[in-house]
Every structure is written in structure tokens, then in C-alpha cells.
Amino acid sequence: MLDTRDSLLSSYDYVLDPQRIAQAPVEPRHAARLLILPAFAEELSKARHAKVWNLQEELQAGDLLVINDTRVLKARLRVRRSSGGLAELLVLEPRGEGRWLCLARPAKRLRSGDQVWLEALDQEPIALQVIGNDPASGGRLVQFPSCYADAEAIESLLERYGEVPLPPYIQRHDPSDSDRYQTRYAARPGAAAAPTAGLHLSDELLEALAQRGVLQARVTLHVGLGTFRPVETEDLTQLELHSEWVEVRDEVVEAVMATRARGGRVIAVGTTSVRALEGAVLAGGGTLKSFRGPVNLVIRPGYRFAVVDGLLTNFHLPKSSLLLLVSALVGRERLLALYAEAIEHQYRFFSYGDAMWIPPDAVLPDMRLRPALALE
């Protein structure tokens, strides 16, 4: 039975000392702390404190680890306006023929028809033009040279002119961010932000998991506006999220089917992997099928999960769509109590912070897998 407060954005707030916001990642990646949730029937005092390296002790032979292989673009661009003033563009998604949706700052200074110049040290300036507004996102449509039509094509330009798009709450910037704000298995360019739970998986940990018989499947979700834009809708029954591009390939569907057949568990690394899998079920009309296209699935308390059994995730911002998703797995009040526990034990929060492991027995009983899920 859902609490009416579960449908109010203000119910997903909590207070965090800024000192708890991680400004740099730990080394090695798997040395981050890990809060392990107790079974749902157990008291929260049974939560355990470990390291991400200990995840290998929590997973079992035959489990399937689903990771997101998106690659973060150097999507933050500094541009010079005709007046000589500086502005910033965050490149989000292609709109065809070199047109890109971008978030602009300051947005009011970049109007339709304005020309700006993309500049970088030792690089020739490139003229760009603002060709329109995008009311749905509050962003700007910007015309790049037509050869930069997709993420693969524009990546070389962004490598020369762009910067790693670290979240605004990270004040420290370092050349190492080019590597550390990227998963070890990042392969498909297109994200404007990292799938941060995956940042904890080192080569050594991935090898250790493989040695234990934990299998791996790769989905793609290009993290964009739907992930990091603040939620502003108080009535969550009316919430809509900006769509993000997803690909769930045939081999992923086959891997999930094989996992179910052998009695294994489907473990998602990060909320993006959850949205990719569950979004493919939505697109398939309740059946997990291969899928390629946009997904704008809202997962909040009351959602019945179709594919995902357990989740490795970071600690998320208050009143964010990611906090709603994790609340759907374990319950809002229980999750906020666990966050209070993490704060008390001085865990590090957000993108470069520590992690939480939600095993299948910690998931709300009513929200566990739909028993009649069809797999194709």
C-alpha cells in the first residue's frame, strides 16, 4: 500500500553537509565504501559496511551483471559571443544535420540567430549559430558544421575543444578526470554525464567477478538531460522526464533469459542500467525485447520491476529522479533512513562518492519481479 507522501517530491528531501559531497574519487576504484542493505524483513541496524571490492562476496555464480557501456563526451564547451563575452554550452543530443540540443549558460544571452565562436588553446576558432530554443528542455538548438551529425562524429571535435562535464557540485578539476569520470568499459560515445555506479568497477574487480562465475551483459544508455535535470514537479503522478537514448541488444535479452533459466539473478550496475532494461520492457509491451531508441520511463514507488533483481548504486541528490527510482526498490522511508545511516558513518555522496548494494532480498516484496514476465 503506497503512502500518499510517496507521490510528493518534497517527501524525497534530506539534509546533507557539503563536506560529505565527494570532490575526488578514491583509488583504486574498488576501494570506495559500500553500504550493504539488510534483508527487507530485518532491522536497518543489520546494514553492513564494507568496500566495493567485497561485492564479489555478495554475488553468486550464475548471476548476470548488467553494465552501461556509454562513453562520456567532453561535452562542456566554452564559446565567445559576438559582444566578446563568454558563455558555455553543454552538448546533449543530436537533432540531425549538425544540429545539437545544448544547455546554455547564461541562456538568456544566447538567443536564436546569435553566432558564437568555439575557442580553445592552439585550435582554430569555429563559428556556431544558435538556431532556436527547445521549450521542453529549456535548451538551445545549435548548428555545428554538418559533418558533426552524431556522437561518433563530434567526439573528435569535443576532444579538441571540450572539457569533461563534471557536475557543478564538484569544485575540483584535474586532468585525471578524463579517465576517472569514465567507466573502464566505456565504449559507445554519447553521454553528457557518467553512469557513476560503474565508476567503482576496476579491471581487477571485474576479473574477480568473472572468476567467480558472474556473467556480464552490456546495455547502452546515453546519460543526458533526463538524469541530471532537477525534478520540479511536486505531484509525481504528473512527472515526465526528458527521454534518453537506449540500446538493449539481442544478446542482452538472451543473457537475461539464460540467467532466469538457471536460477540466477539479474543485477544492475547503476540506475541507468535499470532504466535501459525496464525501458526495453515498456517498449516491448511488457515483454523484454531488443530495443533501440528513446526512453523516458519514470520509475517511482509503486513501480513493479520486470527484469532487475538487485542494484549497485551511488548516493543520489535530494529530490532527484534517481532517488525516486531507488525508493521504488526499497521504499522511500527505508531509503531515507539508510541515507541518514550513511551520513552518520561519513559516507561520501554523489558522483565521485561511495556506493550502496541492494541485494534481491532487500527489495520491497510487492515490487519484486512481475511473476508473469514474458521473455522473448
Average pLDDT over residues 12-22: 98
Cell numbers for 275:
532504466
Asked whether residue 310 carries a pLDDT value surpassing 60, the answer given is yes
Confidence at residue 363, expressed as pLDDT on a 0 to 100 scale = 96
What would the CATH number be for the domain defined by 76-161?
Answer: 2.40.10.240
Q: Do domains 4-72+178-375 and 76-161 have the same CATH topology?
A: no
Q: Model-level pTM?
A: 0.95
Confidence at residue 228, expressed as pLDDT on a 0 to 100 scale = 60
Confidence at residue 226, expressed as pLDDT on a 0 to 100 scale = 67
Confidence at residue 344, expressed as pLDDT on a 0 to 100 scale = 97
Confidence at residue 1, expressed as pLDDT on a 0 to 100 scale = 64
Question: Residue 11 corresponds to which amino acid?
Answer: S
Predicted confidence band at 374 (pLDDT cuts at 50, 70, 90)?
very low
Element (H, E) at 103: strand 99-105
pLDDT digits (tens, 9 = 90+) for 152-206: 999 999 999 999 999 999 999 999 999 999 999 999 999 999 999 999 999 999 9
Compute the distance between CA of residue 51 and CA of residue 252 in angstroms, rounded to an integer.
28
Compute the distance between CA of residue 202 and CA of residue 183 in angstroms, rounded to an integer.
8
Confidence at residue 371, expressed as pLDDT on a 0 to 100 scale = 47
Cβ-Cβ contacts under 8 Å for 292 (sequence gap 6 or more): 246, 247, 248
Percent of the chain residues topping a pLDDT of 90: 89
Query: Residue 181 phi/psi, 5° resolution?
Result: -95, 40
Judge whether 187 and 152 are in contact, CB under 8 Å. no
Asked whether residue 370 carries a pLDDT value surpassing 60, the answer given is no
How high is the mean pLDDT of the chain? 94
Asked whether residue 124 carries a pLDDT value surpassing 80, the answer given is yes
Average pLDDT over residues 231-243: 93
In angstroms, the Cα distances linking 363 to 217, 298, 328 are: 22, 18, 9
Confidence at residue 93, expressed as pLDDT on a 0 to 100 scale = 93
SS3 207: helix
**CATH class in words for 4-72+178-375:** alpha beta
Cell numbers for 190:
554519447
Confidence at residue 369, expressed as pLDDT on a 0 to 100 scale = 64
Confidence at residue 297, expressed as pLDDT on a 0 to 100 scale = 93
Q: Which residue has better confidence, 45 or 136?
A: 45
Percent of the chain residues topping a pLDDT of 70: 97
The pairs formed by 89-93 with CB atoms below 8 angstroms and a separation of 24 or more are 89/116, 89/128, 89/140, 89/142, 90/165, 90/192, 91/154, 91/158, 91/162, 91/192, 92/137, 92/139, 92/192, 92/224, 92/225, 93/222, 93/224, 93/225, 93/245
pLDDT digits (tens, 9 = 90+) for 343-358: 999 999 999 999 999 9
Helix boundaries (H) for the chain:
55-58, 151-161, 177-180, 203-211, 225-228, 250-261, 271-283, 321-330, 332-344
Burial 26-47 (b: 16+ CB within 10 A, else e): beebbebbbbbbbebeeeeeeb
Ordered by start, the domain boundaries in the chain are 4-72+178-375, 76-161
